[in-house]
Amino acid sequence: MPDQPSQAVQDYLKAIHQLGGGDDFVPPAKIAAALVVKAPSVTGMLKRLADAGWIDYTPKSGARLTPTGLSEALRVIRRHRLVELFLTQVLKLDWSEVDAEAEALEHAISPRLEQALADYLGEPLEDPHGHPIPSSTGELRRRELLRLSEFREGARVVIREAQDDNPARLRHWSDLGLTPGATVHILHYQPLDDLFEVEVGGRLVRLGSEGLTGLRGELEAVAG
C-alpha cells in the first residue's frame, strides 16, 4: 500500500485520470502538456509513481492508474468539486473563480472535513460546472456527452458540462446563458465561416466552434 501521497503525486494522479488513464494508457507527452511541465521531469515522476504502486507505466505505452491510484485520483477529484460547489453556493463566488481556489484547497482537506462538506451540501451529484462528483465510495457516473460543436441544425441540446480552466471563457458563457442545464437550439451552421447560430433563453447567439469549445451536452429528451 503506497504512503499518503504528496501534493505533486495527487496532481499527477488527477491529471492522468482526466486524460483517460483510468481505462487506458496515457502518453507522457499528454501528461506533460496537461501539467505544463517538461517531458524529462514527467518521465522521472512516472517511474516513481509506478514504483510506489500508483500507476502501471512503460516508456512506450505511458501511464495507467492502478486500482489504488484510481481510488486516490477520485478522492482528490471529489474534494476539488465539493470545494468548488461550496465556494459558489455558500460563499457566492463566481463559477469562473473557483477552480483555482479549489486546486489549492483540495490537498489540505481531511476526510472528516470532506464528509462535512458533502453532508452540508446534501451529497451533491455535480459541481458548478456540471461535472459529476465522485461518491464517498469512489463511484463516478459516466455520461455519453458530445461537444456542442458536434451537433447540427435543428438539434435541441441540453448543456451538461462546461470546461472550467478558463475564467474569461466561463464569464462569457455565463453572460450568454450557456451554462449547465440550459437548452440550446442549433438554428444554423455555416461551414465556410465555421459559424453557429443558436438560440438559448430566447436569445440569438452567434459563435464559432472555438467559442463553443469546452461545452458538452446531450440531445433534449422528447416528452411522451
The whole-angstrom separation of Cα 8 and Cα 37 is 12
pLDDT exceeds 80 at position 209: yes
Question: What is the length of the chain?
Answer: 224
Inside any domain, residue 209: yes
Asked which of 35, 65, 95 is the last residue of a domain, the reply is 65
CATH no. for residue 198?
2.30.30.90
Inside any domain, residue 45: yes
Inside any domain, residue 95: no
Asked which of 37, 65, 93 is the last residue of a domain, the reply is 65
pLDDT for res 1: 44
Inside any domain, residue 85: no
Give percent above pLDDT 90 in the chain: 91
pLDDT for res 60: 87
Inside any domain, residue 11: yes
Average pLDDT over the chain, rounded to an integer: 94
pLDDT for res 224: 54
Give percent above pLDDT 70 in the chain: 97
pLDDT for res 221: 80
Inside any domain, residue 157: yes
CATH no. for residue 46?
1.10.10.10
Domains identified in the chain, total number: 2
Q: Would you say 49 and 69 are in contact if contact means Cβ atoms under 8 Å apart? A: yes
Mean pLDDT for the stretch of residues 204-216: 94
Inside any domain, residue 2: no
* Helix ranges, the chain (H): 7-18, 28-35, 39-52, 67-89, 98-105, 111-121, 167-176, 209-212
Band of residue 48 on the pLDDT scale cut at 50, 70, 90:
very high
Q: List the domain range (segments joined by +) for residue 184.
A: 146-219
Asked which of 65, 82, 106 is the last residue of a domain, the reply is 65
Inside any domain, residue 187: yes
pTM over cut 0.75? yes
pLDDT, tens digit (0-9, with 9 covering 90-100), for 118-156: 999 999 999 999 999 999 999 999 899 999 999 999 999
